Amino acid sequence: MDEPRQSAPVIEPGHTFATVTDKISSIVLTRPTSNGWFVGFGLAFLVFMGGLYAIGYLFVRGVGIWGVNIPVGWGFAIVNFVWWIGIGHAGTLISAILLLLRQSWRNSINRFAEAMTLFAVSCAGLFPILHLGRPWLAYWLFPYPNTMNVWPQFRSPLVWDVFAVSTYFTISLLFWFIGLIPDLATLRDRSENRAARIIYGMLAMGWRGSARHWSRYETAYLLLAGLATPLVLSVHTVVSFDFAISIIPGWHTTIFPPYFVAGAIYSGFAMVLMLAIPIRKIYGLEDFITDRHLNNSAMVMLATGLIVAYGYGIEAFMGWYSGNRYDSFLLWNRLHGPYAPLYYLLLICNIGIPQVLWIRKLRTSPLGLFLVSGVILVGMWLERFIIVVVSLHRDFLTSSWGMYYPTRWDWLTYIGTIGLFLSAMFLFVRILPMISIFEMRTLLPQAEVKPE
């Protein structure tokens, strides 16, 4: 492990295999559950129920209850979809890419980052189905033999989405699960409660830490990381194709894939920090999630943020340079059109404010980072809104120009998915080790095998 000269360590000194193990597993195994947890979970779940109500009404009445119309056929649903998918990128990125880059500091944040990925992708996955005119027919997007003898249309980016997102979810799930197996074994052996023992035992599948197993395990884990790396890049590329493949000014552009991926990582890390900071405070994990982690994540955000800024720049430049009357109008419309305030807000959130991350002090201040991350998440949501709505609402024929106004149902559905996300997170931290115990052990100096 090549340690870049960093002051803050990945893990505070004085820990042993035992302390690490107990510290982390105790969060799950200690009884009783704190009231704080119940309150938090209760609220999150309530919000989620609100979302379900909105979804129920949606199924009864139809997408007409949302603000979508002609020309703006896609509204909040797709905005939220892209936003959630983007957030879902951090997990696999941290686990896979940083693993390949041997960034061992990742070990203490990859577990819940992956969990977050799964939940974010689940939230994202809801929207493409909900936004259908006839959601009960969503399965028609899968190629399966049917009495109609008809099949999906593989030239459509939406079919690509189906494959990309479902693959991404599956791989992330596997990655997360095999990462959990040794820790589940630990919990199996630590827990006093018989039921817990059986459940963890079943999930651990009888893991016993055999050297042979470990060696195959490591190979598989590494290969999976190798596969997940191109995958994570491809997913948001494919999502960006939804727009790039079309002919609508503001969508039809080649910069989208890289710029979407960067944006995804940007928002992903923001979400990781928004979760990590309170969690480490509440569960006193400052020893494992140290300022070093905050600092590194902050720098990743700074970097990806600049890539995103470059994306905006190129879009604007192309609008002007192409000389295409539709593209140049799009630029004008973003700067002076009815949605211009949102565009400026977007620039402030995604480019302006994050520049404070140049300040080292702020990169290690939990509160500061927490706030900046929040701003970035808002900014990234706005970016998707600008891309989807502002491009659509004024396209080629001036006669067909229109406006898009979200309805209360749009908001309720969106908020609802946030509720779903948080509920899932609460459950996760309560029943599974939120930090990879066995990988933490490897970080300890004792883990090194001294040559005889």
Partner 1 sequence: MKRTPIYGMMAEFDSPSDLVAAARRTYEAGYQKIDAYSPFPIEELAEAIGFHSNAVPLVVLIGGLIGCLSGYALQYWISVITYPINVGGRPLHSWPAFIVVTFEMTILFAGLAAVLGMLALNGLPMPYHPVFNVPRFAFATKDRFFLMIFSTDPKFNPVDTRRFLEGLGPRSISEVPS
Partner 2 sequence: MQIFHRSTNTISRATIFGAIFVIAMLFWAAAEVQRSPYVTYAGVARPQPAPFSHQHHVGGLGIDCRYCHTSVEVSSFAGIPPTRTCMNCHAQIWTGAPMLEPVRESFSSGKSLIWNRVNDLPDFVYFNHSIHINKGVGCNTCHGPVDRMPLMYNYASLQMEWCLNCHRAPEKNLRPRDQVFNMRYEEPSSAKPIMVDGKTYTDQISLGRDLVTKYKLRTVADITSCSTCHR
Partner 3 sequence: MKMTSSNHNSPSIDVCPSKKNKLDLETARAHLAETQGPEYWRSLEELAGSPEFQEMLHREFPKGASEWLDSVSRRGFLKLMGASLAMAGMTACTKQPLEPIVPYVRQPEEVIPGRPMFYASAFTLSGYASPILVESQLYRPTKIEGNEQHPASLGGTDIFAQASILGMYDPDRSQTITYLGDVRTWGDFLNAIHGPLIAQKAVQGAGIRILTQTVSSPTLADQLRSLLKIYPQAKWHVYEPINRDNVLEGAKLAFGQPVETQYKLENADVILSLDADFLYAGFPGFTRYARDFAKRRDPDAGNMNRLYAVESTMSSTGAKADHRLPLPATQIETLARALASQLSVASGVGGLQGKMAEHLAGVARDLQAHRGSSVVIAGDHQPPVVHALAHAMNQALGNVGRTVVYTDPVDANPINQTESLKDLVADMRSGKVDLLIIMGVNPVYDSPADLAFADALKNSKIPLRVHAGPYQDETAELCHWHINEAHYLEAWGDTRAYDGTVSIVQPLIAPLYGGKSFYELTALVAGSEATGHEIVQAYWQKQHPGSDFDAFWRRSLHNGWIEGTAFEPKQVKPTTSNFSAPRHTDFSDPRNTDQKNLEINFRRDPSIYDGRFANNGWLQELPKPMTKMTWDSPVLIAPALAERMSLKSEDVVELELNGKKLTAPVWVQAGHPDNSVTVFLGYGRRRAGRAGTGAGFDMYSLRNSATPWSVTGVAIRKTGATYKLASTQGYQSMETPDGGSRPLVRSASLEEYHKEPNFAREEEPPAALTLYPGYDYKKEPYAWGMAIDMNACVGCNNCIVACQSENNIAVVGKEQVVRGRHMHWLRVDTYYQGDRANPRGHFQPVPCMHCENAPCEVVCPVGATVHSTEGLNDMVYNRCVGTRYCSNNCPYKVRRFNFLLFQDWETPQYKMMRNPDVTVRSRGVMEKCTYCVQRINEHRIDAEREDRKIGDGELQTACQQSCPAKAIIFGNINNPNSKVSKLKANARNYSLLADLNTRPRTTYLAEIRNPNPELER
- State in angstroms the smallest separation of the CB of 436 from partner 1: 10
CA pair distance 250, 326, nearest whole angstrom: 9
Q: Please pick, from the candidates 186, 267, 391, 423, the single residue that binds partner 1 as defined by CB under 8 A.
A: 186
Q: Report, in Å, the least distance between residue 161 CB and partner 3.
A: 8
| Min CB(189)–partner 2 separation in Å | 8
CA pair distance 328, 405, nearest whole angstrom: 24
Given partner 1, partner 2, partner 3, none, residue 197, with its beta carbon under 5 to 8 Å by kind, binds partner 2
Tell me which residue has tokens 């404010």.
353
DSSP class per residue in 407-452: -HHHHHHHHHHHHHHHHHHHHHHHHS-SS-HHHHHHHSGGGS----
What is the residue type of 176?
W
Residue of the chain from 142, 177, 321, 358 that contacts partner 1 (CB under 8 A)? 177
CB contact set of 360 (below 8 Å; sequence gap of 6+): 295
Q: Output 28 or 58, the one with its CB closest to partner 1.
A: 28
Q: Quick one: which segment of 70-78, 80-88, 194-202, 236-244 binds partner 2 (CB under 8 A)?
A: 194-202
224 binds partner 1 (CB under 8 A): yes
- The contact set with partner 3 (CB under 8 A) reads 60-65, 67-74, 131-138, 140-141, 146-148, 150-153, 155-159, 162, 242, 245-248, 325, 328-329, 332-333, 336-337, 392, 395-403
Q: What is the dihedral of CA 33, 36, 41, 43, to 10 degrees?
A: 150
Select the binding partner of residue 131 from partner 2, partner 1, partner 3, none (C-beta < 5 to 8 A, by kind). partner 3
Give the shortest CB-164-to-partner 1 separation in angstroms.
5
Q: Which two tokens stand for residue 325?
A: 């009357």
Which ranges in 7-143 belong to alpha helices (H)? 17-29, 35-61, 76-87, 89-92, 98-100, 110-130
Residue 242: which of 379, 127, 414 has the closest Cα?
127
Q: Does 152 bind partner 2 (CB under 8 A)?
A: no
Q: Which is nearer to partner 3, 39 or 403 (CB)?
A: 403
Closest CA to 127 of 410, 380, 428: 410
Q: Which is nearer to partner 3, 19 or 400 (CB)?
A: 400
Rounded-to-integer distance, Cα 390 and Cα 428, Å? 38
Q: Catalog residues that contact partner 2 under the rule CB under 8 A.
A: 145-150, 188, 197-198, 201-202, 205-206
